[in-house]
Amino acid sequence: MSKGEYDKVGTWTFRELISRTELREFYLYFHLDDSNQTGFCDKVKKMQRFFGLSPDGKLSEETLTVMKKPRCGLSDVEPHEGAVRWRKRTISYRIAGENLPFPASRTHKAIRRALKLWSSVSLIKFRRRAAKEADVGIAFVSGADHGDGFPFSGKGGALAHAFLPGLGIGGDNLAVHSCCLPVVAAHEFGHALGLSHSPDPGSIMYPAYNFAPSLELSFDDVKRIQHLYGENPNFHLQSLKRPPPKTPDKCDPDLSFDAVTELQQEVVFFKDRFMWRKHPSFVETRITLISSLWSDSVPSHLDAVYENVEKNFILFFKGDQYWKVQQLMLQEGFPRNISDLGFPSRIKSVDAALHFRRDRYTVFFTGRECWRSVTFSHFPSFSLIWLFVSSLCLNLIIDSSFPAGFVNFFKGNKQYKYDFGQNRVVSVSRANDLMGCEMGKGNKHIS
């Protein structure tokens, strides 16, 4: 542990109190000797791996940010999937109590929407009961202690939990918060049907709730629920106009990126609502949600990203807007139009951004043009320039770029390594060449 997180006499700091509570509730951490940090660090690493963070065992700001995100109250290490499920295909449910988060009609509509996600792809059917005892009891409660032995941690913590199906339980007990009810309910009903948490950040069963505008099951969710209950005969993956979304595979030979950049010591690859983080000290390159680190303040499907190390901020670009983030927090007044940076009105988007730390300037790629911003002045001044990459600017719409000794340009599923000294492209390889994939999976050097 780093200084300030745990002192020599074993006194807990505020951040360690938070983390110990998180690890006890969700990763089965029980400290027998508070002076021994080995077990604690191991559990922190386990949590970091689950959420795609660098597994160093330290309570960094990023780790604490993920710990405090709204999430499900069920443990992430419950080894139950496949061991418990309903032995029948029609499940009854009842909404108990009067403390509804919305008017009754709106609440019932949200619950039906969540249930339909599961019934539309599997053989499970749901039937509502108004008064009689039901298989699944739904209760809306508030406060940390609500009588079932599983307290909520409030805003920024556990919002809901569900008990698994099984003999002696009498069904499920679901308690949800009024925030984004269909999302929370769909997740908790997944547990009620026997599904455990998924490490796939694209899954609705990911422990941190994903409050995306569209509510849908992922490909992984569909296959898992069908494994337990069979496939709905009216549902066929092959016949769908738009199949359930798959989380991108880092070793897919056709993989392309929305943006690639260097943040601190890491290289970060952005794709849709996901990102991979490659740290020089760790072998693993794991996927996570963009929102797991920057909440919902940073959009998905980005065009460009870069970090200004000198001024300690990150800029995210999408369309004609950009977002400024410092210390993981969106700055006041953002997003803004890219014209505020000095771009002329005819520039509607930024394709890529490349920040040169030593010389303190940033190069932006817009279509076939290259622009340079001198960032040590208060208001960046722009000038249209033809750089050493002018041939690339003329012939390629570059998707993303980042500095790593050489300059690597990304176009589609390929990356081009440019050598300053030779003033030319010296090699072409797969875009995911840095992901640590096996050569047999198609991630081969091209030229």
* 392 has a pLDDT exceeding 70: no
Under 8 Å between Cβ of 364 and 353: yes
Q: Where in the chain is the domain with CATH 1.10.101.10?
A: 14-68
Q: State which H helix or E strand residue 411 sits in.
A: strand 406-411
Beta bridge partners of 6: 12
Q: Which residues contact 103 (CB under 8 A, 6 or more apart)?
A: none
Comparing 47-51, 171-175, 333-337, which segment has the lowest mean pLDDT?
171-175
Run of H or E including 416: strand 414-419
pLDDT band at 33 (very low <50, low <70, confident <90, very high): very low
8 A C-beta contact, residue 202 and residue 208: no
Query: CA 428, CA 425: separation in Å to the nearest integer?
Result: 8
β-sheet with 274-278: strand ranges across:
259-263, 266-271, 274-278, 286-289
**271 falls in which pLDDT band (50, 70, 90)?**
very high
Considering only CA atoms, give the Rg of the chain: 24
Out of 188, 262, 266, 307, pick the active-site residue: 188
- Specify which of 81-85, 99-103, 246-250 reaches the highest per-range mean pLDDT: 246-250
Tokens of residue 85, six digits: 């499920």
Which segment, 9-13, 78-82, 93-97, 107-111, is predicted with the most confidence on average? 107-111
pLDDT at 314: 93
Residues contacting 327, CB < 8 A, separation 6+: 61, 312
What class has domain 259-441? mainly beta
Three-class SS state of 401: strand
Residue 82 structure tokens = 């496949």
pLDDT of residue 52: 66
What is the pLDDT at residue 171? 36
Domain 14-68: state its class: mainly alpha
- 374 vs 383: CA distance, rounded Å: 9
Residue of 327, 292, 246 whose CA lies nearest to 50: 292
Coil/strand/helix, residue 21:
helix
CATH level 2 (architecture), domain 90-239: 3-Layer(aba) Sandwich (3.40)
Quote the pTM value: 0.66
Of the pLDDT bands very low, low, confident and very high (cuts 50, 70, 90), residue 150 is very low
Amino acid at 33: D
| Structure confidence at residue 106 (pLDDT) | 86
| Residues of each annotated binding site | 72, 135, 146, 148, 154, 161, 170, 172, 187, 191, 197, 205, 258, 303, 353, 399
Average pLDDT of the chain to the nearest whole number: 72
Please report which confidence band the pLDDT of residue 103 belongs to, taking 50, 70 and 90 as the band edges: confident
What's residue 83's pLDDT? 55
Find all residues with CB under 8 Å of 426, minimum gap 6, and list them: 406, 417, 418, 419
| Binding-site residues for Zn(2+) | 72, 146, 148, 161, 187, 191, 197, 205
Residue 275, pLDDT > 80, answer: yes
Annotated binding site for Ca(2+): 135, 154, 170, 172, 258, 303, 353, 399
pLDDT band, residue 177 (cuts 50/70/90): very low
pLDDT for residue 158 = 39
Question: Strands 369-374 and 361-366: what pairing?
Answer: antiparallel
Q: Token pair of 445, please? A: 């050097």
d(Cα 176, Cα 152) in Å, to the nearest integer? Answer: 10
At residue 281, the pLDDT reads: 72
| Mean of pLDDT values over 285-293 | 82
How much is the pLDDT for 215?
Answer: 80
Between these two residues, 75 and 316, which has the higher pLDDT value? 316
At residue 438, does pLDDT exceed 60?
yes
- Within 57-178, strands assigned E span 71-72, 90-96, 125-128, 136-139, 158-160, 172-175
Query: DSSP H helical segments within 28-124, as ranges?
Result: 38-50, 61-67, 104-119
Q: Out of 207-211, 242-246, 285-289, which region has the weakest mean confidence (pLDDT)?
A: 207-211
CATH 3.40.390.10 residue ranges of the chain are: 90-239
Q: Which of 143-152, 338-347, 410-419 has the lowest mean pLDDT?
A: 143-152
Band of the pLDDT at 27, cuts 50, 70, 90? Answer: very low
Residue 175 clears pLDDT 60, i.e. is over it: no
pLDDT, tens digit (0-9, with 9 covering 90-100), for 183-195: 888 888 898 898 8
pLDDT of residue 443: 43
Mean pLDDT, to the nearest integer, of 10-35?
A: 46
pLDDT of residue 208: 72
Is the pLDDT at 390 greater than 50? The verdict is no
307 has catalytic annotation: no
Cα separation, 168 vs 360, in Å, equals 66
Q: Is residue 379 over pLDDT 50?
A: no
At 388 the three-state DSSP class reads coil
- Strands 352-356 and 336-337 come out as unpaired
pLDDT tens-place string over residues 155-170: 444 343 344 444 333 3
The lowest-confidence range among 30-34, 57-61, 416-420, 423-427 is: 30-34
Return d(Cα 58, Cα 75) in angstroms, integer.
Answer: 21
> Would you state the structure tokens that stand for residue 71, as one six-digit string?
């999430």
Identity of residue 431: A
Q: How far apart are CA 170 and CA 200, in angstroms?
A: 30
Give percent of the chain above pLDDT 90. 18
